[in-house]
Amino acid sequence: SSVEIGESVRGEDVYIIQSGCGEINDNLMELLIMINACKIASSSRVTAVIPCFPYARQDKKDKSRAPISAKLVANMLSVAGADHIITMDLHASQIQGFFDIPVDNLYAEPAVLQWIRENIAEWRSCIIVSPDAGGAKRVTSIADRLNVEFALIHKERKKANEVDRMVLVGDVKDRVAILVDDMADTCGTICHAADKLLSAGATKVYAILTHGIFSGPAISRINNAAFEAVVVTNTIPQEDKMKHCSKIQVIDISMILAEAIRRTHNGESVSYLFSHVPL
């Protein structure tokens, strides 16, 4: 793909926004070429704003001869000339350590808390549930901030996208259950988890996910599952998905990224955004 920057960027502080969704590899390549185009056009600093980091799940060798693609993406961004990365809810925070340049890993959590308080009437007696043990930290943090209980579901996988059996740890009887995770791809896990929660006595089930990838059978699974709502942020555009599924609702996180860019540009601290939604 050919890239031409339409005006002078000499000495400028450049922010390039590109999320890892849709045609991921085309988008990534375009981002790399744009970073490099700005770099060799003498911009003072290039920041890649990547709301959904591509290949983030490939962050360790989970079996023999598997690639660590997230590290490769990190190297590619650095080699292309990125000076700084702004991203959101990395699948594993350690991915920040794949870079030698600064990475701001913003959290959707403050926006999620705001959504829960504004849209779930019975939030004071709800229970926050993690659909896998890996997300326990995220869930306990949200439960603490809302001052409610949490539960987790332990799952055993045989293959990468398929779940085998699930065990619920915690008591969800007669409560509104809110499933929280960082991403939903084929939605097998959260749909299984929803069934598990309802059979354990939950009154309603919501799912709140930062990155709604929704590939393959995801939409039909959600339509057939018993969710009140499946809430995602717009780190990945959701307009098309919302047409085919009335349960999908969107939390807009553009103001979080905008504020992060403004603070970075002005040399201010970004840590306020880890616990607050910008006004």
Domain topology for 13-106: Rossmann fold (3.40.50)
Are domains 13-106 and 108-251 of this chain identical in fold? yes
Q: How far is CA 268 from CA 52, 260, 262, in A?
A: 23, 9, 8
Quick one: pLDDT at residue 3?
Answer: 84
Query: Is the model's pLDDT at 1 over the cut of 70?
Result: no
Summary mean pLDDT of the chain: 94
Question: Which pTM was predicted?
Answer: 0.92
Average pLDDT on 207-231 reads 95
Distances (CA, A) of 104 to 77, 180, 205, 263, 275: 15, 22, 32, 12, 14
Find out whether 49 and 86 touch, Cβ atoms under 8 Å: yes
C-alpha 250/C-alpha 174 separation (Å) is 27
Report phi then psi at 23, rounded to 5.
-80, 85
pLDDT tens-digit profile of 165-215? 788 999 999 999 999 999 999 999 999 999 999 999 999 999 999 999 999
State how beta strands 163-169 and 149-157 pair: antiparallel
Strands 127-130 and 45-50, sheet pairing? unpaired
- Predicted confidence at residue 144, as pLDDT, reads 96
Given a cut of 90, whether residue 4 has pLDDT beyond it is no
- Contact at 8 Å (CB) between 14 and 45? yes
The CATH number for 108-251, chosen from 3.30.70.20, 3.40.50.2020, 3.40.50.720, 3.40.50.970, is 3.40.50.2020
pLDDT over 70 (residue 245): yes
The pLDDT, as a whole number, for residue 165 is 79
pLDDT digits (tens, 9 = 90+) for 28-67: 999 999 999 999 999 999 999 999 999 999 999 988 999 9
Give pLDDT tens digits for 128-158: 999 988 889 999 999 999 999 999 998 776 6
What pLDDT, on a 0 to 100 scale, did the predictor assign at position 263? 98
Instruction: Give tens-digit pLDDT for 60-71.
Output: 998 899 999 999
Encode pLDDT of 70-127 as tens digits: 999 999 999 999 999 999 999 999 999 999 999 999 999 999 999 999 999 999 999 9
Q: How confident is the model at residue 230 (pLDDT cuts 50, 70, 90)?
A: very high
Measured distance CA(125)–CA(130) in Å, rounded: 17
pLDDT tops 70 at residue 9: yes
- Locate 9 and state its tokens: 């960027």
pLDDT on residue 160: 65
Q: Where along the chain do its domains lie? A: 13-106, 108-251
β-strand partners of 130: 152
The residue that leads in pLDDT, 22 or 253, is 253
